[in-house]
C-alpha cells in the first residue's frame, strides 16, 4: 500500500523546516511527531533542541528512525498514533499525520484531560478551514484557539493543498 493510500503525504525537507520554525519549538520542550514517517519533521525538531517522541506505525520506518536518531533525544514508539498513550506532563505536537485520522486525533489531543499545550498539524485544507471556522465540539472553541497556519503545496499525487492547523 502506498503512502497516499494510507492518507499520508511526505513533506519536503524545506517545508518541514518552515513548519518547525513557525511552531516556535524551544530547546528542551517535549514534542510528539505523530506519524513520523520518513523523519522530515523529526530531524528539524531535534535541531530546534526538542526532546522528541516519534510515533510511527510501520516497523521498517521505526527501524530507520531508531538508527538515524541513535544517541539523540528521540524516543521512537512503534504503534497507532490514535492508540499510543499521550504524555501526562505538558507536551506539544508538531506532526504530519495521516488525513483519515484527523478527527480522532484531534479528539484525543484536545480532550479535557490532555496535557497538550500546543499543536501544529499538517492537514487537508478543508479540515483546517472547518476547524478554524468553529466546526467541531463547542468545548474545543472554549478551550483552544484553532487557527489556519501556512499553506503548503500538495504533493503531485494529491489534488488538494495541505495547510497547517495551529492549536494553542
- Locate the domains of the chain by residue range: 4-167
Letter string b/e over residues 49-77, b meaning 16 or more CB atoms within 10 A of that residue's CB: ebbbbbbbbbeebbebbeebbeeebbebb
163 has pLDDT over 70: no
Which residue, among 113, 75, 114, 82, has the nearest Cα to 7 in the 3D structure? Answer: 82
User: Looking at the domain covering 4-167, what would its CATH class be?
Assistant: alpha beta
- pTM for the complete prediction? 0.86
Instruction: Judge residue 108's burial from the number of C-beta atoms within 10 Å of its C-beta, 0-12 exposed, 13-18 middle, 19 or more buried.
Output: middle
142 has pLDDT over 50: yes
User: How far apart are alpha carbons 153 and 159 in whole angstroms?
Assistant: 10
User: Between the ranges 37-41, 69-73, 159-163, where is the mean pLDDT highest?
Assistant: 69-73
For residue 91, how far is the Cα from the chain centroid? 12
Which has more confidence, 53 or 18?
53
Q: What is the mean pLDDT of residues 106-135?
A: 86
Amino acid at each position: 500500500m502506498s503512502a497516499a493510500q494510507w492518507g499520508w503525504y511526505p513533506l519536503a525537507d524545506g517545508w518541514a523546516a518552515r513548519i518547525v520554525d513557525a511552531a516556535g519549538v524551544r530547546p528542551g520542550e517535549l514534542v510528539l511527531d505523530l506519524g513520523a514517517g520518513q523523519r522530515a519533521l523529526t530531524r528539524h525538531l531535534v535541531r530546534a533542541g526538542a526532546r522528541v517522541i516519534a510515533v510511527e506505525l510501520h516497523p521498517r520506518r521505526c527501524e530507520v528512525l531508531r538508527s538515524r536518531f541513535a544517541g539523540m533525544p528521540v524516543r521512537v514508539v512503534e504503534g497507532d498514533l490514535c492508540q499510543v498513550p499521550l504524555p501526562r506532563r505538558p507536551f506539544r505536537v508538531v506532526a504530519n499525520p495521516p488525513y483519515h485520522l484527523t478527527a480522532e486525533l484531534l479528539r484525543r489531543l484536545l480532550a479535557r484531560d490532555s496535557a497538550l499545550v500546543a499543536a501544529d498539524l499538517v492537514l487537508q485544507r478543508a479540515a483546517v478551514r472547518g476547524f478554524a471556522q468553529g466546526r467541531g465540539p463547542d468545548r474545543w472553541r472554549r478551550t483552544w484557539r484553532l487557527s489556519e497556519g501556512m499553506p503548503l503545496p500538495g504533493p503531485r499525487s494529491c489534488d488538494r493543498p495541505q495547510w497547517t492547523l495551529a492549536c494553542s
